[in-house]
């Protein structure tokens, strides 16, 4: 058993212990993707329509799955989903906000992955994560597909076109910026 697989097994075992012995829910693919999109909406600050409008959701999902493994991804998405449900049933958005900050972004297990998911959406790049067992020395960041690059949310977030794509038209650079600081 190589060390990566062993770590994953360990995660799964610990999860069972700490989640009160419940087995990992076996989510089906479409549920996982649904959770993934909801999670991405919360992380990125972009609507589901805008995320799907990039045409990259499936590719990003499979990139994450391939790089961290299905089990860990399921666990992360389940964690998010539970927070989401809690927040919704209590009708209290702050439960979700705090949960994302403390239980996910600050968590040793999920933090780097969640950050990677944000960066994937924002700059279409996957960065190696040391603690998932990926050998960070041999791994380099990569752009998941040339066509994903222009879909990075970074550019919409700051109201510009991705350099070399989606040109805004002659002279538009003289106009007032479309983004503001609140």
Partner 1 sequence: MSQSQTTLKSVDCETVSKTFYDVVIVGAGVAGSIVAKQLSEQGKTVLILEAGTGKSLTLEGFQSHVETFYGAVDKNPNAPYPLNPNALSPTDGANGYFEEKGPLPLSGSYTRVLGGTTMHWEGKTIRMLPEDFELRTRYGHGLDWPISYKDIQPYYRKAEYEIGVSGNTEEQKGLGVTFMDGYVLPMLELPPSYLDQKVSEKIHGTTVEIEGETIKLDLSTFPQGRNSIPNPDYKKYNDGDDFIPQGVGSVEPVEYGERCQGNANCVPICPVQAKYDARKTLNRIAFPERVHILPQAVAYKVEVDPANGRVTAIHYKRYQDKNSPEHTLGIAKGTLFVLATNAVENAKLMLASELPSTSGLMGCHLMDHPFLLAWALMPEVTGTMRGPLVTSGISTFRKGAFRKKQSAFAVDIHNDGWGWSGTGATDVVRDAVDNKHKYGAELRQELISKISRQLLLAFMCELPADPSNRVTIDAQYKDQLGNYRPVIHFDVADYCKNTFAYARKLSQTIFQRLGAEDHTKYDKRDQDGNLDPAYFEYQGESYWFRGGNHFSGTHVMGTTKNNSVVDQNLRSWDHENLYLVGAGSMPSIGSSNTTLTLAALSFKSSEQMLRDLKS
Partner 2 sequence: MTSSQENDLIQSVDDLHFYLKQAMMIEHATIPPYMTALYSIKPGSNIEAFQIIRSVAVEEMLHLVLAANVYNAVGGDIRNTLSSDEFIPKYPTTLPTGETDFKVGLGKFSPETIDTFLSIERSKEVDEGQPIVGPRPSQNNLLAVRDANPQYSFYSIGLFYAEIIRGLYALYQEMGDDLFCGDPQRQITPEYYYDGAGDIIKVTDLTSAIRALTMIQEQGEGSVIGTIYDAERLLSHYYRFDQLKRGQYYIVDQDNPSNSDQPNQPTGDTFAVDWDAVYPIKENPKLSDYSGEPELHSAAQEFQSAYSDFLTKIEYAFDGHPETLLPAVGGMFKLKYQAERLIKNPIPGRDGMNAAPIYRLD
Maximum separation of any 2 CA atoms in the chain, in Å: 62
CB-count exposure of residue 36 (10 Å: 0-12, 13-18, 19+): buried
Closest approach, Cβ 77 to partner 2, in A, equals 19
Binding residue (CB under 8 A) for partner 2 from 5, 14, 25, 52: 52
Contact of residue 61 among partner 2, partner 1, none (CB under 5-8 Å per partner type):
none
Closest approach, Cβ 4 to partner 1, in A, equals 22
Closest approach, Cβ 143 to partner 2, in A, equals 13
Which residues in 53-82 contact partner 2 (CB under 8 A)? 53-55
Contact 121, 44 (CB under 8 A): yes
Contact of residue 115 among partner 1, partner 2, none (CB under 5-8 Å per partner type):
partner 1
User: What are the start-end ranges of the E strands in the chain?
Assistant: 125-126, 142-143
User: Among 136, 133, 143, 20, which Cα is nearest to 71's?
Assistant: 133
CA geometry: angle 68, 47, 95, nearest 5 deg: 70
- Name the residues that contact partner 1, by CB under 8 A: 42-45, 100-101, 105-106, 111, 114-115, 118-119, 122-123, 125, 127, 140-143, 145-147, 149-150, 154-155, 157-161, 163-165, 167-182
Question: How do the residues of the chain divide into helix, strand and coil, expressed in percent and rounded to 5?
Answer: 60, 0, 40
Closest approach, Cβ 168 to partner 1, in A, equals 5
User: What residues line the site for partner 2 (CB under 8 A)?
Assistant: 47-50, 52-55, 146-147, 150, 166-172, 175
């Amino acid at each position: 058993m190589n060390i990566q697989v062993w770590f994953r097994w360990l995660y799964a075992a610990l999860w069972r212990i700490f989640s009160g012995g419940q087995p990992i829910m076996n989510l089906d693919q479409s549920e996982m993707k649904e959770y993934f999109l909801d999670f991405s909406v919360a992380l990125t600050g972009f609507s589901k329509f805008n995320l799907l409008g990039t045409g990259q959701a499936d590719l990003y999902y499979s990139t994450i799955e391939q790089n961290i493994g299905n089990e860990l991804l399921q666990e992360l998405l389940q964690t998010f989903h539970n927070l989401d449900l809690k927040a919704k049933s209590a009708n209290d958005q702050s439960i979700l906000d705090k949960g994302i900050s403390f239980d996910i972004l600050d968590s040793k297990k999920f933090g780097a992955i969640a950050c990677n998911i944000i960066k994937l959406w924002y700059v279409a790049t996957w960065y190696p994560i040391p603690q998932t067992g990926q050998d960070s020395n041999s791994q380099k960041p990569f752009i998941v597909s040339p066509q994903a690059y222009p879909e990075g949310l970074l550019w919409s977030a700051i109201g510009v076109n991705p350099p070399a794509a989606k040109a805004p038209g002659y002279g538009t650079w003289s106009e007032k910026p479309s983004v503001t600081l609140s």
